[in-house]
């Protein structure tokens, strides 16, 4: 039986424009510790849907985890704007805290 990563990698290979498959692949990659490899998939998802908050959050967090704060900031700021616009209170609070830590 294929792993989650293998399953979604196969789906992305067949349908490379399917953002949901890419998002799931990115999550599976992060779960396996392959964060660097997940970045391109989160970014593709974020760039493909202007109103999709979650890939921006996860991309920003992944970049933070890799010590790439400067790159993470615009993704987290964009996610915060979407959280506010879409009335997602918990993500808004989390994003405000992450951005405050970056400023400190």
Q: Tens digit of pLDDT for each residue in 1-41?
A: 889 999 999 999 999 999 999 999 999 999 999 999 999 99
% the chain with pLDDT above 90 = 95
Instruction: Round to whole Å and give the CA distance between 76 and 57.
Output: 6
47 — pLDDT class (breaks 50, 70, 90): very high
Give residue 9's domain range.
4-103
Among residues 30, 32, 51, the alpha carbon closest in space to that of 41 is found at: 30
Kindly report the CATH number assigned to the domain that includes residue 21: 1.25.40.10
* pLDDT at position 104 over 90: no
pTM tops 0.75 = yes
> How many domains is the chain partitioned into structurally?
1
- Largest Cα–Cα distance in the chain? 46
């Amino acid at each position: 039986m294929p792993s989650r990563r293998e399953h979604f990698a196969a789906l992305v290979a067949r349908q490379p424009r399917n953002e949901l498959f890419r998002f799931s692949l990115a999550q599976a990659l992060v779960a396996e510790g392959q964060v660097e490899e997940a970045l391109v998939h989160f970014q593709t998802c974020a760039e493909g849907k202007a109103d999709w908050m979650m890939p921006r959050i996860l991309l920003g967090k992944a970049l933070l985890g890799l010590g790439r704060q400067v790159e993470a900031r615009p993704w987290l700021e964009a996610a915060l704007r979407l959280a506010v616009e879409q009335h997602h209170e918990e993500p808004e609070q989390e994003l405000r805290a992450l951005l405050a830590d970056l400023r400190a």
